[in-house]
């Protein structure tokens, strides 16, 4: 299987990580709350982008991170930012679904990678590749578009991005117009049960959804009321490979 190239630019995307408050208060907070202490872990960062999570994992004590991303400009930027992380982070340019491992990782992290498969078959291929990197009992922690949020139109402009979708048909585009980016991020809608089946068929024994979490420093801030009303736009997932 071969994947599709993305159409947004690495430098523009990387700048958005320092922009809208949801990046730190929700995305970063949720992902690292779920990871816990990564000290001593060997990690795969699937769809690593410029390596922002790979570096933070090493900063928090992970032993080694292998970052994989299909986009040349993201991998180039990740390698440019690797000073001081040599030998601790390695990067490969590949499509995640084609990039199989040798079962030597404790943890795989996927920040926004599982919004790219367009159907069950592709989702299984992504999940099989993720599973191939993990030791028995190894965990996958993902964070991406929330498939429980289904609507027609656009939402969330007050949070620094506009999420545009047209209902819950599988394979439909879910478009994120992120402030500061010229081109949108184009994701694809899959039903929650499609993800659950893909993980199961790929050899994961447990799978659960985790509602996006708000950093305690922001608790009570009314700015977040709409974000967390009903289904938030983003969600996390946790899966464990069979032991
Ligand atoms: C929204 S960015 C997130 C980057 C990074 N994980 C982060 O949170 O900053 C999604 C990344 O996934 C990469 N990507 C998309 N589809 C991919 C695929 N099939 N295989 C590998 N990388 C992919 C893109 O190139 C991009 O860097």
**pLDDT tens digits for the chain (243 residues)?**
568 888 899 999 999 998 899 999 999 999 999 999 999 999 999 999 999 999 999 999 999 999 999 999 999 999 999 999 999 999 999 999 999 999 999 999 999 999 999 999 999 999 999 999 999 999 999 999 999 999 999 999 999 999 999 999 999 999 999 999 999 999 999 999 999 999 999 999 999 999 999 999 999 999 999 999 999 999 999 999 999
Whether the full predicted model's pTM is greater than 0.85, yes or no, is yes
133: left (phi over 0), alpha (psi -120 to 50) or beta: alpha
Domain ranges across the chain: 10-146+190-241
For residue 202, report the distance from its CA to the centre of ligand 1, in Å. 20
Mutate which of 34, 43, 49 for ligand 1? The one with the most ligand atoms within 8 Å of its CB, which is 49
Q: Which CATH superfamily is domain 10-146+190-241 in?
A: Vaccinia Virus protein VP39 (3.40.50.150)
For residue 46, report the distance from its CA to the centre of ligand 1, in Å. 7
The Cα–Cα gap between 170 and 33 comes to 30
State which H helix or E strand residue 211 sits in.
strand 204-211
Mutate which of 4, 89, 92, 113 for ligand 1? The one with the most ligand atoms within 8 Å of its CB, which is 113
Q: Which pLDDT tens digit goes with each residue over 75-126?
A: 999 999 999 999 999 999 999 999 999 999 999 999 999 999 999 999 999 9
For residue 97, report the distance from its CA to the centre of ligand 1, in Å. 12
Query: Buried b vs exposed e over 178-205: b needs ≥16 C-beta within 10 Å?
Result: beebeebbbbbbbeeebbbbbbeebbbe
Nearest CA to ligand 1 atom 27: 49
Query: Buried b vs exposed e over 1-40: b needs ≥16 C-beta within 10 Å?
Result: eebeebebbbeebbebeeebebeebbbbbbbbebbeebee
Nearest CA to ligand 1 atom 20: 95
The Cα–Cα gap between 211 and 29 comes to 12
Pocket of ligand 1 (CB under 6 A): 3, 6, 17, 47-49, 52-53, 68-71, 74, 95-97, 111-113, 116, 185
């Amino acid at each position: 299987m071969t994947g599709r190239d993305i159409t947004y630019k690495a430098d523009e995307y990387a700048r958005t990580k320092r922009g809208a408050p949801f990046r730190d208060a929700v995305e970063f907070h949720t992902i690292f709350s779920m990871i816990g202490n990564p000290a001593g872990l060997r990690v795969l960062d699937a769809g690593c982008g410029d390596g922002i999570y790979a570096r933070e994992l090493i900063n928090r004590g992970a032993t080694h991170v292998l970052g994989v991303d299909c986009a040349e400009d993201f991998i180039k930027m990740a390698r440019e930012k690797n000073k001081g992380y040599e030998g601790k982070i390695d990067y490969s340019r590949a499509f995640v679904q084609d990039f199989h491992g040798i079962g030597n990782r404790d943890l795989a992290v996927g920040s926004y990678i599982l919004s790219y498969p367009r159907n069950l078959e592709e989702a299984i291929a992504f999940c099989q590749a993720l599973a191939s990197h993990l030791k028995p009992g190894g965990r996958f922690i993902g964070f991406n578009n929330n498939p429980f949020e289904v609507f027609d139109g656009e939402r969330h402009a007050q949070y620094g991005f506009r999420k545009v979708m047209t209902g819950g048909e599988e394979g439909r585009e879910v478009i994120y117009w992120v402030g500061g980016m010229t081109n949108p991020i184009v994701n694809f809608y899959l039903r929650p049960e499609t993800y659950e089946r893909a993980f199961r068929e790929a050899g994961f024994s447990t799978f659960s959804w985790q509602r996006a979490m708000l950093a305690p420093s922001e608790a009570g801030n009314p700015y977040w009321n709409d974000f967390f009303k009903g289904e938030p736009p983003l969600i996390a997932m946790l899966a464990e490979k069979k032991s």
